[in-house]
Each structure stands twice: as C-alpha cells, then as structure tokens.
Chains A and B, each alone.
Chain A
Amino acid sequence: MSNAAVKEKVETTAEEFANSEYEAGFITDIETDTLPPGLNEDVIRHISAKKDEPEWLLKWRLEAYRHWLTMTEPHWAHVNYKQIDYQSISYYSAPKSKEDGPKSLDEIDPKLLETYEKLGIPLREQEFLAGVAVDAVFDSVSVATTFKDKLKEVGVIFCPISEAVREYPELVQQYLGTVVPSGDNFYAALNSAVFTDGSFVYIPKGVRCPMELSTYFRINALNTGQFERTLIIADEEAYVSYLEGCTAPQRDENQLHAAVVELVLLKDAQIKYATVQNWYPGDENGVGGIYNFVTKRAECRGERAKVSWTQVETGSAITWKYPSCVLRGDDSVGEFYSVALTKMRQEADTGTKMIHIGKRTKSTIVSKGIAAGRGQQAYRGLVRIGKNADGARNFTQCDSLLIGDQCGAHTFPYVEVKNPTATMEHEATTSKIGEDQLFYCRQRGITEEDAVNMIVNGFCKDVFNELPMEFAVEANRLMEVSLEGAVG
C-alpha cells in the first residue's frame, strides 16, 4: 500500500475516533430534591442547614462566598468557552429518599443502583468481591458507602464529608481548607461556599489501609453544578490508595463541576490518588458537556511523605485542572502521571505544580496528551525549587500525540529554580501518530483500528502502569471505546 493510501486511512480513523459515542450518557429518572437556580447567602445557609452543619462551617462558607464575590473568573487558560452564568445553576440537588437517608445498600433506590451497574461499578457486588470500598456521590449527596464497618476495625474513617462534619468535627475543622485555602482561586472559593458533599478519609498513625478506597461521582440532574470536596488525611506512616471516577449524562447544556481535593500527608505517609474522569464531553459540534474546573492539591507536611497523582482524563468539554504537590517535608516525594485525551471539540488545559520547599525533595512528572479531531490539549506545569530545597530533583517529560490536522497540542512548562544544588530536567516532544508505525502494523495484518489502538496504548503505558489494576482495566477500556469504529 502506498503511503498516501495509509494517510487517507488515518484521516478516516481520526474522524471516527473523534466522534465516537459517549457510553455513560443515559439519564436516571429519579425524584430529586433540588434548590432553584441562583446563588446568594440564603442558598448557602440553606445548604448548610440541610446538612445540619455546625456554626463554624457556615461562617467559613459565608467568608468564602464573600471573598468569591470580589474575585474575577480566570481566563489565562488556553481554553475557549461561553461565559458561565453562576446564577442559572442550582447549587443543591439530592435524590429524594422516602426516609431520612439510606442506612444500608438495601435501602438505596434500586434505580440508583441500576445507574451504577450500568456504569460498571460493582456497588452491590462489593460485599462479595474482595475489592473496592465505594463512596458514591450522586449529584450532590453521598448515597452509599460500602465496607465502612470493615474499615472501622482498623480505625480508617471513610465517609461522606457531610457526615464527617457531624461525627468528627475536630478533625475536619483542623484540616479543612488548610491545603487549598477558601480564597485560593475563583473556583476553589466558589466550592468552599457551596460544596455539598464529597469524601472524607482519615488513616490513623501507622495504618496501611487494607483495601483501595474509591469514590464515584455522577452529575445527573439538569442545570445543576457539582461541587464536591474531598479531604484525605494520612497520619504518620499511614498508607492509602484512593480512586475516583466521574461520569455525567448527555445533555445539551453545559454543566459546571468545580471540585476541591485536599490531601494532607504527615511524616512517612503515602497517598496514591487516581482519577478516571469521563464526564460527558459534549457532542461533535461542541454542544453540551461538563466544564471541569478542579483544584487538587497535596501537601507533604512531614519528612519522607510520598504522594502520587495519576489521572486519566477522557471526558469533559473543558478541563482545567492542575493536581499539585507541596513538598514541604525533607525527602518528600511528589509524582504526577497523566493521560489526557481530547477529541471532537474538547479542550483540556491540565498539568501539575511541584513546589519544592524541603531538602532533597523529589518530583516526577509524566504527562501524555493525545489530541484528535478538533481537540485542543495543553500541558501547563510549574516546577518551583525554593531557596532552601538543597539537592531537590525534578524530572519532567511531557509528550503529545496528534491525530488529525485540526487538533492542537500546547506546552507551557514554568520552571523556577532558586537553588544551585537542584537538578531539574524537562523534556517535551510533539509528533503525529507515526505513519511508519501504522504501516508496519498494517503490513503484519493488523487492522487499522487495532494498530491505532496499539500505538495509543503504547504511548500511554508509562501512566497506565501507575494505575491500580481495576482502574488500569477501565482506563484501557475507555481508550478502546474512544478509538472504537476506527476502521471506516
């Protein structure tokens, strides 16, 4: 086959690839208790009252709200989207339960469970499989948390944050907003004011969490925003691996998702945080889809703490997300592994921040971006090595793969070094999917679709290897789904 013919094939591939269907785009018909759209202090008081929150938290929310009013929306990211009307969003939506709330899995609305089953989360099978403890967040409230008892035995607290506020107020008060202050940025301030639920995890000193913890987020109701807040505290020598997955139904409106995730690591603690984000990306003309504006930050407060962020970003119309590591403790380690895929008219501006403060701190960044169709992909990262970070080390690699001639891939790496004993290396490459590689595979009898799939998977392998097994399988499947129908 001539080269030209191969190229033509690639283009079909790219087109099909770019327009492949969104699998989780069904809507669950369920009665919800939703606040009318709009945001003011009364709404915040209402959310706070609904959740039976103590006075200090309401005060904190209101302070955040007042600060938010003075802030302007940031526009520096390399993304284009319609102005968001913050008054047209409903800030609270909960599935309406007949009773006060589910006490066990059996009490959960079967329709909800059906939704999760469709998504392939083994919520019900949980108890039989030696697998994952799931905290499922549906719209704004946490509906079920499995395996709570088993975790309690070893002293691990894993519950919705609204419950943690009631049951462990001193822990929440001590740590909430200490990593991402309420006025940190526009979306973090908004989240602090209106956050409705999320997960809370506390791993006590010396405990290695016996199973992987997981949260599944889903935006279901129309015209709602989802503002969840996750707080994970790993006490000295504790270890936890935490997974997070997200989907949303297919709608024509853009929906806002502005989450905050805070991780606190004390001496010798370790947290592995993995995300598979598959929010609805909008259709091929860029109508609908989730605006995913997320603030994630981990702070290694003690020596030798280790945090690792792994993310697979395939969904959302707009992604604006920079999971960061503040390496304060000496010898602490931060890692960031990311695969981001943008197709159709998706746009992603994502990356990480590594702030080296402690001595001999180490960080690794591996970022793989894949842009197809009219997708726009940007890596934006910061590596800052402070004055006292003697012997700090950073390695950064960000590669972009381009499929189709209308997509874009951009790299904005900020490097700030204030210490001569630091070593930092940054490498980036951008290239299209190799014609030679494709040709080679085709020549060996591998179909176009499988060949593209194989090359993309190979490109992402460094990151997928970092995912826990269950998620690695899901991530692989997500990529395959996205590449489905590649042969035209």
Chain B
Amino acid sequence: MSDVALNDIRLDIAGLPGNAGVQALRQQAADVFARTGLPGKRAEDWKYTDLSRLSAVLGESWWVTAAQTEPADVHVIDDLDAYRLVFVAGQFQAEQSNLPTGVQMLPLADFLANDTAERGHCLFHVDESAPLFNGLMAANTALASDGLCACIGDDVQLDKPLYIIHNGSSTAHVLNGLMLGRNAKVTLIEHFVGAGSDAALSNIATYLRLGENAELRHYRLQLESDKQFHIGRVEVKQARDSRYILHAVELGAQLSRADIVVDLAEPGASCALHGLFVASGRQHIDHHTRIDHNAPHCRSRENYRTVLDGRSHAVFNGKIVVAEGAIKTDSAQSNGNLLLSKNAGVDTKPELEIYNDDVKCAHGVTVGQLDEDQLFYLKSRGLSTEEARQLLTFAFADEILTAMDIPAVRRFIEHKAFAKLPNMTDLEGLLG
C-alpha cells in the first residue's frame, strides 16, 4: 500500500474516538494494515474469494468511512421483543435504541469518549498470530467508528435478547466487544441490513468472551443489499463449561466473507455453529470457520447448509484443530450443498487437524441437486413439480431453521430466504 494511502488512514484515525492509548493502538493497526494489505488469491485462506473486486468497485481508498447519509428504509424484525441498538453507517442512533439498564453496556464511541485514561483498550490490540488473521481485521481496528461495548456481570441473565441493527448502506468499520461473566446468559442478534443502491463495505468484527458456565446464543443475520461487500469476523473465547450457539444466516451482499474463530480454551466448553446460505444472482458467500479444541472434554458441532441459485458461488472452509492433550474431544461437522442452477458453484473444505488419539471426530460433505426419486414421490402424491421442488428445498434448509429458538427470527428468515428463490413465495400456503 502506498505511503499516501497510509497517511490518509492516519488522518482518518485522528478524527475517530479514543484516548491517547487507543489512538496509538489504532496507528499500530494502521501500520499492520499498510504492511499486509488486502489478502490476495495466492493466500490459502483466500483461494476461492477474490477481494480485488473490492478495490475495483470501491476505488483505491475503499476503506474510507463515508459521511452519514439519511437512513434508508429497511426491513427489520418488528415483532421481536428485545433491547434494540441501532447503528447507521457505523454510528449509534440513541433515539432509535433502548438499552437494558443495570448492566454495563455502551456504544463503543461513548465508552471511548468517557474513558480519558491514557491506557489503551484490549479491543484494539491487533494479534497477527490469530487464526485467519488478515489485513481487513487490522483495518477494522484502525478505523472502527463505533460498536457495542458490554460486560455482562456474573449471574446476570438478560430477560430479552440484544438486537443490534446495522444499517449499512455506506462503508463502515464496526467493532463489537461482549464479555459474559460467570453463569451469565445472553442472546445476541446481529442483523445487517441495507437498501443502498451504491456499493460500499461493511467491515464488522465481533469479539466475544464467555465466562465459566456462561451461555451465549448468537444470531448473525446478514441481509445487506446486493451491492454491498460484507466482511465479518467473530472471535469467541470460552471458559470452563460455557456454551456458545451461533446461527449464521447469509442472504445478502454481492460478496460476503465471514471468519468464525472459536477457542474452546477450558474443559467442558461447547459450541454449536449453524449456518444457512441462500444465494442467487451473482452473489459470492464465503465462511471460514475454525474451532480450536484446546482443553479436554470439549464438544463442538457444526452444520452448514447452502442453497445456491443463479450464478452464485459459495465457499465453506471448516477447520477443527484438536491440540495435544485435549482428550475426550467430541467433534462433528457436516456441510450440505444444494445446487439449484446450472451455473452455481461451491468450493468446500472440511479440515481436521488432530494431535491426540483420544478423540471422536467426524465430518461429512455432500453436494448435489434435488433428488429425482424424492421429486417423483411427491409428484405421485399430487404435488406439482414446482411445489415438490419448493418442499424439498425447504426441507433441506429446515434443519438449520428449526434450530433457531426465537420464533420471530425464524419466521423472518424463512420468509426472506425463500423470497429469494424463484417460485418460492407461495411456500407459506403450501406448508399451510
């Protein structure tokens, strides 16, 4: 990256919130970013996702945070009883939000503005040795404008889900940090929406820490406009007996890439990652997940389902690493891919790296189209070809949808997902 560009970033940083310590860390991140730049196709983890489109579409200074525009009208989950946090173009909107009382929770920008101490903040440390590290992470740290900053205390169980709406029709770098104390229990819904007609970048990093026996249900719903570039990172560190459940839904964006990194750091921790991609047109969706079993008696489950139509392209890379000494590991991973059109494509790689013999690990992948015999069976029972196709497609995704424990979210996603596919709109009637 050119020095001019780096200087631009430095100037941008100067206008962002943070005390001297945070500013220094932002500058360090900018240096890392200037050095590493965008990951190229030669990098193993970016083999199937070409980020050159990012600079080709958004121009040389693709990372620039655009000035705030009038929030476009977007569709959110209205019938959801939750604490709301609304961000537009990476800025918190106090008047549209209601935060829970009695817990430490602030928008990041407010938190930084109030923190006048000279020391930095742990959210701003860039760790280049982190799994799936890339330049965009450093860019996020350097340029983060706002986000969620919360510490949920020991034994606190939030009565309603936290519902974060990111209305991202312009370029934004958002940094979220959520820490759960002992026995804490929280449901976090991150909903990315946009209705912009211009392309922009959403660069979202979410760092999660789970204390002993804590439980976090995390919904990550990506429904950006089909012009948007979406880059996400979720990093989870789990203490003893904690539980992390992710429901990742990818419906929007022209190019979406998310890196999900889970560290099962202490015995008895468990995680379950559920993923659903429904892509059409020329969409490109990519999830790289990495689960590190670093302690004995941990359990991980992973189930990703992909439905591809049009000329869309999906990438799934699920890596599970079992460290030496992480005995009694129980891990299972499954990835199903349904290709509905001639021009759709999928690249998938379920990886296992195991340094220990006392483990139970399995993974499976399937790729195919709708089964002729099943279609025939349904047609023989009086369903039309279209209805049969709809029903089977729905059934394929059903496993992921039924795992969602909030009915309002599930209905919303069902509706949005199948509205994307041709002749799927009357599905509700069919399911009666």
Binding site for B on A (CB under 8 A): 76, 78, 385, 400, 402-433
Contact = CB atoms under 8 A, between A and B. Distances in A.
B364 A428 contact: yes
14 contacts: A385-B367, A405-B357, A405-B358, A408-B354, A411-B350, A411-B352, A413-B350, A415-B347, A415-B365, A417-B367, A420-B340, A420-B344, A423-B369, A430-B354
A428 B356 CA distance: 16
Interface string B343-366: 011111111111111111111111
Contact of B354 (A410, A415, A420, A423): A410
Contact of B357 (A403, A420, A426): A403
B367 A76 contact: no
B357 A428 contact: no
B354 A409 contact: yes
A411 to B, nearest CB: 4
B359 A416 contact: no
Given A408-B353, A411-B363, A412-B349, 15 more contacts: A410-B354, A411-B353, A415-B348, A415-B367, A417-B337, A421-B369, A423-B366, A424-B366, A425-B365, A425-B366, A426-B363, A427-B363, A428-B364, A430-B362, A431-B360
B44 A76 contact: yes
Nearest to B349: A414
A404 B356 CA distance: 8
A122 B236 CA distance: 61
Interface in B342-401: 342, 344-369
Interface of B: 44, 324, 327, 337, 339-342, 344-369
Contacts of B362: 427-430
A426 B354 contact: no
Contacts of B364: 425-428
A405 B356 contact: yes
A76 B352 CA distance: 16
A240 B182 CA distance: 67
A415 B357 contact: no
Given A420-B342, A425-B366, A432 B352 contact: no
A429 B353 contact: no
A417 B340 CA distance: 13
**Closest 6 interchain pairs by CB?**
A420-B339, A402-B357, A432-B357, A426-B365, A411-B352, A418-B345
A215 to B, nearest CB: 34
Contacts of A418: 345
Contacts of A421: 369
Contacts of A432: 357-359
A426 B358 contact: no
B369 A415 contact: no
A347 to B, nearest CB: 13
Contacts of A411: 350-353, 363
A78 to B, nearest CB: 8
A410 B356 contact: no
Contact of A415 (B344, B349, B358): B349
A429 B349 contact: no
A407 B357 contact: yes
A420 B345 CA distance: 8
A76 B364 CA distance: 24
Contacts of B355: 407-408
A432 B328 CA distance: 11
A385 B342 CA distance: 12
A424 B337 CA distance: 10
A451 B416 CA distance: 56
B47 to A, nearest CB: 9
B363 A415 contact: no
A404 B369 CA distance: 42
Q: Which residue among A78, A409, A412, A417 has the maximum number of chain B CB atoms within 10 Å of its CB?
A: A417
A371 to B, nearest CB: 8
Contacts of A408: 353-356
B352 A415 contact: no
Nearest to A411: B352
A420 B360 contact: no
Contacts of A424: 365-368
Contacts of A429: 361-362
A412 B351 contact: yes
Contacts of A78: 353
A11 B44 CA distance: 37
Contacts of B352: 409-411, 428, 430
Contacts of A404: 357
A78 B368 CA distance: 30
Contacts of A406: 324
A429 B360 CA distance: 8
A364 to B, nearest CB: 15
Contacts of A410: 351-354
Contacts of B327: 405
A430 B344 contact: no
B139 to A, nearest CB: 26
A387 to B, nearest CB: 8
Which of A410, A413, A420 has most chain B Cβ within 10 Å? A420
B298 to A, nearest CB: 15
Nearest to B345: A418
A355 to B, nearest CB: 14
Given A76-B44, A420-B369, A431 B359 contact: yes
A21 B360 CA distance: 31
Contacts of A425: 364-366
A433 B358 CA distance: 9
Nearest to A406: B324
B313 to A, nearest CB: 9
A21 to B, nearest CB: 23
A190 B21 CA distance: 54
A403 to B, nearest CB: 7
A406 B358 CA distance: 10
Contacts of B339: 417, 419-420, 422
Nearest to A420: B339
B330 to A, nearest CB: 11
A274 B177 CA distance: 56
A422 B365 CA distance: 13
Contacts of A413: 349-351, 365
Contacts of B44: 76
Contact of B368 (A76, A403, A422, A428): A422
A76 B369 CA distance: 33
Contact of A428 (B341, B348, B363): B363
A420 B346 CA distance: 10
Contacts of B357: 402-405, 407, 432-433
User: Interface centre among A421, A424, A430, A431, by most B CB within 10 Å?
Assistant: A430
Which residue, of B354, B358, B363, B364, has the highest number of chain A Cβ atoms within 10 A? B354
A149 to B, nearest CB: 51
Contacts of A412: 349, 351
Nearest to A423: B368
A369 to B, nearest CB: 11
Nearest to A414: B349
Contact of A420 (B324, B341, B366): B341
A251 to B, nearest CB: 29
A426 B368 contact: no
Contacts of B349: 412-415
A413 B359 CA distance: 20
A416 B44 CA distance: 15
Nearest to A390: B342
Contacts of B337: 417
Contacts of A423: 366-369
